[in-house]
């Protein structure tokens, strides 16, 4: 590493005070989630990194493993506004985004904002709503706005969709189209708790849920500051090239029907910046990219029919690609 680059890192990285404060905030939120969730730290970390990277999250796992609880715990921890929508086949797009209603008093149409006008939006069982309703979310997720009858209404940041998905139920569901999946920054699974964790959980939750007593540990303003700090992490050109090499490798891989999009690359770098913040570093390392690449890319890649019969799934394929590619020094 040349001296110039080392100097660049210090000149262009966030101020040490901002970095330390934002790191402390992220640590506090992760720790707070751990008060309710008995889950691997990695899952809790990724959830918070998603928020700091301004990303949306899919929690895909079996029923009853704490998906909704994790989303609620995040909402409580950061003291942001929170809405929840249970997706069902009869849900209409306007049930999500809002609707223009005629007002008797004013004699004009007025926009009634839907539940999407919030900071954290929990969508339970996202694949149960019709494609039309699912697609109503696309504009909100990418552009942070809702358009009704030609007028656009902005959503206030931070805006994060946390969608839950059950991997074993297919009947009566509409699989998420690739364009929709690509708008989710990360996919997280929680898994079953360890034996001892499960035993303690049963005792803890015998009378009441610890979620009810969970207190916020960060304000919306503090979250916005941490988001801004993460944005200003220094990214050396070699790191951007490394991310590009990963994207190209997925596109050239014959076992993949669909590789990673440029949007996936932008997101990968954003989440890697958030990870650098959690590490208390003002710049991104290849290690940051490697750590988050699986959860960022896995759900966006489509395996070819032949590869689907093989041993590797999309996340395994990402891991294999990372092992194969040269890492910048």
Which residues contact ligand ATP (rule: CB under 6 A)?
36-39, 63-69, 164, 166, 190, 193, 201, 205, 209
Question: Which CB atom, from 9 or from 67, has the smaller least distance to Mg ion?
Answer: 67
Question: Which CB atom, from 122 or from 293, has the smaller least distance to ligand ATP?
Answer: 122
Asked whether the beta carbons of 187 and 45 are under 8 A apart, the reply is no
Asked whether the beta carbons of 127 and 172 are under 8 A apart, the reply is no
Q: What is the DSSP string of 69-105?
A: HHHHHHHHHHT--EEEEE--TT--HHHHHEEEEE-TT
**Measured from the CB of residue 134, what is the shortest distance to ligand ATP in angstroms?**
18
Asked whether the beta carbons of 69 and 37 are under 8 A apart, the reply is yes
**Measured from the CB of residue 31, what is the shortest distance to ligand ATP in angstroms?**
15
Q: How would you classify the pairing of strands 120-124 and 160-165?
A: parallel
- Which helix (H) or strand (E) segment is 264 a member of? helix 262-278
Which of 27, 29, 57, 38 has its CA nearest to residue 210?
A: 38
Question: Which CB atom, from 114 or from 193, has the smaller least distance to ligand ATP?
Answer: 193
Question: Which CB atom, from 45 or from 236, has the smaller least distance to ligand ATP?
Answer: 45
81 binds, among ligand ATP, Mg ion, none (CB under 5 to 8 A by kind): none
39 binds, among Mg ion, ligand ATP, none (CB under 5 to 8 A by kind): ligand ATP
- Position closest to ligand ATP via CB: 66
**Measured from the CB of residue 59, what is the shortest distance to Mg ion in angstroms?**
9
Asked whether the beta carbons of 115 and 140 are under 8 A apart, the reply is no
Q: Residue 1, Cβ neighbours under 10 Å: how many?
A: 10
Binding mask 59-88 for Mg ion (x = CB under 5 A): --------xx--------------------
Question: Which CB atom, from 13 or from 68, has the smaller least distance to Mg ion?
Answer: 68
Query: Can you give the binding site for Mg ion, defined by CB under 5 A?
Result: 67-68
């Amino acid at each position: 590493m040349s001296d110039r680059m080392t100097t660049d890192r210090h000149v262009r990285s966030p101020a040490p005070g901002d970095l330390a404060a934002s790191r402390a905030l992220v640590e506090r939120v992760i720790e707070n989630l751990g008060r309710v969730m008995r889950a691997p730290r990695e899952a809790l970390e990724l959830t918070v990194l998603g928020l700091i990277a301004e990303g949306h999250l899919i929690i895909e796992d079996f029923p009853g493993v704490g998906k909704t609880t994790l989303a609620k715990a995040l909402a409580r921890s950061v003291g942001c506004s929170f809405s929840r929508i249970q997706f069902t086949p009869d849900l209409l797009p306007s049930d999500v985004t809002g609707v223009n209603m005629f007002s008797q008093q004013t004699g004009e149409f007025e926009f009634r904002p839907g539940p999407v006008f919030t900071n954290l939006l929990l969508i339970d069982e996202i694949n149960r709503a019709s494609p039309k309703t699912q697609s109503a979310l696309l504009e909100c997720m990418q552009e942070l706005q809702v358009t009704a009858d030609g007028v656009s209404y902005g959503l206030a940041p931070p805006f994060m969709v946390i969608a839950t998905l059950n991997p074993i139920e297919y009947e009566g569901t509409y699989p998420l189209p690739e364009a929709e999946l690509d708008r989710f920054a990360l996919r997280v699974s929680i898994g079953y708790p360890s034996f001892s964790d499960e035993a303690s959980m049963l005792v803890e939750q015998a009378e009441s849920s610890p979620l009810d007593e969970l207190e916020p540990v960060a304000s919306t303003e503090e979250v916005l500051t941490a988001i801004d700090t993460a944005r200003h992490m220094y990214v050396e050109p070699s790191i951007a090239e490394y991310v590009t090499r990963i994207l190209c490798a997925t596109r050239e891989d014959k076992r993949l029907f669909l590789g990673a999009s440029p949007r996936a690359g932008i997101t990968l770098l954003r989440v890697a910046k958030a990870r650098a913040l959690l590490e208390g570093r003002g710049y991104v390392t290849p290690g940051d990219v490697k750590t988050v690449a699986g959860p960022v890319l896995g759900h966006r890649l489509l395996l070819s029919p032949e590869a689907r019969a093989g041993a590797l799934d999309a996340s395994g394929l990402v891991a294999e690609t990372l092992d194969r590619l040269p890492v910048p020094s």
